[in-house]
Amino acid sequence: MGPLMLSKPEFVERFFSGRNVAWEGLDPSSPAGQRIAMYLSALGDERVEQTVILPYQAGSGQPVDAYVMCPRSETTKTATYLRSFVGSSFGAFDGKVSTLRGDDPSQKAILEFDPLARVFILRFRRDRQAAGWTQLRRLAALLTESQSREGQQQQRGVARLLTDFQVALASGLSSESGLLLEEIGALGGLSGFNLSYLKIDRLSRLGRMDELRRLPEIIDVVSSNAPLAVCADVTHAFRTTDLPENLNADTLPDALAKIEQSELDLQRLFWHGDVNFSPSGRLLAGLLAHHRGDSRSLTAIKWEADEVAYAALFGLNDASERTPSPEVASVESEKCEPASPAQDEVVETSESVVASWTDWIHALRLGGARNVFGSLEWQEWTPPAESDEQIAQLLGGLTDAESEMIWRLVGPLVDSDDYGQPAWRSARALIEMGLLFEFFRPADLSGITALLDIYLRGAPSARDYGGLLSAIAAEAPRWVGAERAVLALDLVDVLARSSSPDTHARTACAWSILAPLNAHAVRLDDDLARFALSLSSELSVALEWPTRADEDASTNEVLGGTGTLLIYSLDEAVLRRTKAQVEVLAPGVTIRTSHDKVGSERLRAWCRSADAVAMATRCAKHAATGFIQTHRRADSALFEADGAGSASLLRAAVSALDQIRS
C-alpha cells in the first residue's frame, strides 16, 4: 500500500473543490451535505477500504457525474454491481477502470489519498440523471450491508482467481476477465511469464492484436520458448499488425523489411516445429526461410490451400514436383535452446505426466497436478468430447476439497467445446458439481450457462433433461437477483433457444429463475425488462415486467436515432434474438449481423460503415473478432458483451446504440 498523503478531511476538501461544485461550501447541514454524508460514511480514514460513490459536477447547471472508488480487490465485484444497477440505460458504462489525471483537482485528490484505488467514472445522460442517482443510492445501501458481511470472509486465493479468470474468458465475460487478471497480478503467486501468457491469450481471443503487439514484455515472452498456444497468438498478431494485408510480389520487399526490422526473435516462435503452421504460421515461416535463403525449409512447408499462391509468391517449383520433407521447416528449431519453464509459484508440481483431460483430473484428485493455466498446455490436448464418458465418470463422488480443484476444468472445457461434438456428459457433471457446492460467483454462473449450452446440444433424454433442470431450479433462489439480471437472463435464454424434450420442465426451470428476478423488476434497465418479458412469453411463464418507462411516460422513447450498428456473434440464434430486441428499441438504426468465422469483403465493408459495433467474445479465438477490430472505423465504438447469451449481447448493443445516439 502506498504512503498516506492526505487525511480523510483533506481529501474531502480537495475533492469538492476547483471545478467540482457538487457540494459548495462543504456545509454538512445543506441538502447536498446530507445526501453526500451517506456516501462519505463508507470512506476509510486512511484509504479506500470499500466501494465509495461521490458526486462530481463540473460547474453549475452541468450534469452530475459519479466517481465510484473501490479497493483493487473489489474491482470485479464493483464493476458487476454497476453494470446491474446502472448499466447502459442511464449513460454509457463500459465496465473499464478510468485513468485519473493529475491536472484535475478532484482526480488528483484521489491519487494523493489512495493511489492504489480503482475508479469508475459514470457520466449520465441528462434526461436519465435523476433516475441514475436513485439507482446509485440503492446500490450504496446494498453495498453497506453486503460489505459488512463479506469483510469477515477470507480473500480469494490466486488458484480460485485463476479458475474464475479462465471461466470468465471462455464464457465471454470480457470485462470481468480483464479485471480478474488485474487481481491475479496484484495478488501475486504466478511467475511473470505465466501472467504474460494469460494476457496474450486474452488479448488474442478478443482480437486486440494492436494491444498485444504493444505489450512491453512481448520481447521476453518470445525469447522464453513460450507454449505453442502463445507462439501461435504472437505469430497471428505479427501477421495482422506488421505485415501487408495483401501479400504479393509487389509487397514482398516490404514484408521482408518488416521481418528484418522486427524487435522480436521471430525464429523462436517456431521452436515447437511445424505444429505452429496455421495460415499465419505458414506465411511467417515461409517469409523467414525466404529471408535467410533457406530453400530447403521453404519448399518443405505444407502450404495446403495456399499452395498455388505461395508457390508464385516465393518462386517455388510446381507442387507436383515437390516432395515435402518430414522435417518440415522446423525453422532452425535446433538453434532454440529450451528455456527454463516458467514455474507456477502457487500450485504444487508433480513428476506425473499430464497430457490429457483424464490425466489432469486424476492428478488433480491426487493433489499433485501441475498448473496448466499459465502454460495453456490444455489447448494442445485432444477435444474433451473424445473422452466424454470417462471424464464424466471421473467427476463423480468428489469431496469438497476435490470439487474446488476440479472446478478449474470448467474454463478449459468450455473453451475447447466443439459445436458439433459437445462433451455434454462432462458438462452435466460439472453443472451438478457447481450446484452442489454452491459455486455462484458471476464467473461461476456464466460458466454454468456455457456448460448448459454444451449439455443441451448433446440431445439428452427427457428424463435426464428434466432431472438437471429441476436441480437448477431448486438452487435458483440462492443466486438470482437484480444485480445478476444479465446472468439470469442469459441462462433462461439458453433454455429458450435450445430444443427441449420436456417443455414442462423447461417452463418450471424458467419460472424459478424469472420469478425472483421479477420481484425486483423496477430495478432492471428497460432493455432487460423487455427481454425478460419476451422470454416469459416464449416459455409460457405468466409474469408481468414493468419498465421505468411505464413509471414515467416522459422517458417512454426508443433509443438510437439513425446510424448503422454491426452485431457479431458465432451463435446465429443469439444474433437473431438480439437483433429482434434492438429493432424494437431503435427502429431507425440500420442493423447488420454477422457470424462469420473469418474475414470477408462483405464483413470488411460492414465494419467500415458501422457507427458502432457490439460483439460477443465467447469462442472468439475461432472467430473474426481480430478482423473486426482491425477494419472498423477509427471513430466507431466497439462494445464487447459480458457473456455469451442474448441478454449479454443485448446489453452491449444498447451501449452501442447510446454511442450512436450521442
Q: What is the CATH number of the domain that holds 655?
A: 3.40.50.2300
pLDDT at residue number 182 = 84
The 8-class DSSP code of residue 20 comes to: B
Residues 544 and 571 in one domain: no
Alpha-carbon distance 512 to 509, whole Å? 5
DSSP code per residue over 310-358:
HHHHHTPPPGGG----TT----SGGGSPPPPPPPPSSSPP-SS---SHH
Same domain, 68 and 37: yes
350: in domain:
no
Least confident of 95-104, 130-139, 199-208, 286-295: 130-139
Question: Taking the CB of residue 100, how many other CB atoms lie within 10 A of it?
Answer: 18
pLDDT digits (tens, 9 = 90+) for 599-636: 889 999 999 999 999 999 876 555 688 889 889 998 88
pLDDT at residue number 86: 75
Domain range for 608 is 558-661
My answer on whether 223 and 330 are in the same domain is: yes
For residue 161, being part of any structural domain is answered with no
The residue out of 100, 122, 150 marking a domain boundary is 150
pLDDT digits (tens, 9 = 90+) for 9-27: 999 999 998 889 999 888 8
The one-letter code for the residue type at 525 is D
| Lowest-confidence region among 177-191, 274-288, 444-458 | 274-288
Claim to verify: residue 407 and residue 543 sit in the same structural domain: yes
Q: Would you call 370 exposed, middle or buried from its count of C-beta atoms within 10 A (0-12, 13-18, 19+)?
A: buried
What is the arithmetic mean of pLDDT over 230-241? 91
Q: How many CB atoms lie within 10 A of CB 463?
A: 10
Annotate 242-254 with DSSP letters as a single string.
Answer: TS-SS-STTTHHH
| Residue 592 shares a structural domain with residue 493 | no
Q: Which residues of 617-632 are buried (b: 16+ CB within 10 A; e: fewer)?
A: bbbbbebbbbbbbbbb
The predicted model gives 108-137 an average pLDDT of 86
Q: How far apart are the first and last CA of the chain?
A: 39
Euclidean distance between CA atoms 148 and 578, whole angstroms:
38
- Residue 262 makes CB contacts below 8 A (sequence gap 6+) with 238, 242
Write out pLDDT tens, residues 272-325: 776 556 778 888 888 888 888 887 777 667 665 556 666 677 776 544 444 443
Q: Which one is predicted more confidently, 624 or 389? A: 389
pLDDT tens digits, one per residue of 77-112:
788 778 767 766 677 677 789 999 888 999 999 999
pLDDT score, position 464: 97
| Same domain assignment for residues 500 and 564 | no
DSSP 563: E
Element (H, E) at 656: helix 646-661
* Residue 348: inside a domain: no
Give me 572's grid cell: 446465429
> What is the distance between the alpha carbons of residues 427 and 246, in angstroms, rounded to a whole number?
42
Tell me whether residue 341 is in a domain. Answer: no
Q: What is the pLDDT of residue 390?
A: 92
Residue 504 lies in a domain: yes
pLDDT 10s digits, 553-585: 434 445 546 799 999 998 899 999 999 999 998
- 492 and 567 share a domain? no
Domain end residue (candidates: 150, 166, 183): 150
Which whole number is the average pLDDT over 218-222? Answer: 94
**Contact between residue 50 and residue 42 where contact means Cβ atoms under 8 Å apart:** yes
**502 to 498, 633, 645: CA distances (angstroms):** 12, 46, 22
Whether residue 447 is predicted with pLDDT greater than 90 in this model: the reply is yes
pTM of the model: 0.72
pLDDT at 135 (0 to 100) = 78
Residues 464 and 319 in one domain: no
> Could you give the CA distance from residue 42 to residue 661 in angstroms, rounded to a whole number?
35
Rounded (10°) CA dihedral 206, 209, 210, 211: 50
Confidence category of residue 338, pLDDT binned at 50, 70, 90? very low
Say yes or no: 141 and 251 in one domain: no
What's the structural domain count of the chain? Answer: 4
Q: Tell me the average pLDDT across 382-391.
A: 92
Cα–Cα distance, 595 to 603 (Å, whole number)? 10
Residue 130 lies in a domain: yes
User: What order do you get walking across the sheet with 118-122 strand by strand?
Assistant: 52-57, 64-70, 118-122
What confidence score (pLDDT) does residue 371 get?
A: 52
Q: Within 10 A of 77 (CB to CB), how many other CB atoms are there?
A: 20
544 and 408 within one domain: yes
Let me know: does 550 contact 598? Beta carbons within 8 Å: no
Residue 570 main-chain phi, psi, to 5 deg? -75, -20
Higher local confidence (pLDDT), 393 or 139? 393
Residue 222 has, within 13 A of its CA and on its CB side, a CA count of 23
The answer to whether residue 73 scores a pLDDT higher than 90 is: no
Do 403 and 522 belong to one domain? yes
The chain-wide mean pLDDT, for the chain, equals 82
- Look at residue 376 in the predicted model and tell me its pLDDT: 62
Residues 91 and 219 in one domain: no
More confident residue, 381 or 220: 220
Q: For residues 70 and 83, what is the distance between their CA atoms, to the nearest angstrom?
A: 15
Q: What percent of the chain has pLDDT over 90?
A: 37
Q: In this structure, is residue 85 part of a structural domain?
A: yes
Could you read off the pLDDT of 538-549 as tens digits, one per residue?
999 999 997 655
Task: Tell me if 171 is assigned to some domain.
Answer: no
* Residues recorded for the chain: 662
pLDDT band at residue 145 using 50, 70 and 90 as cut-offs: low
Q: Which of 511, 529, 550 is the last residue of a domain?
A: 550
From CA 659, how far away is CA 610, in angstroms rounded? 12
Reading the block at residue 192, the C-alpha cell is: 511473470
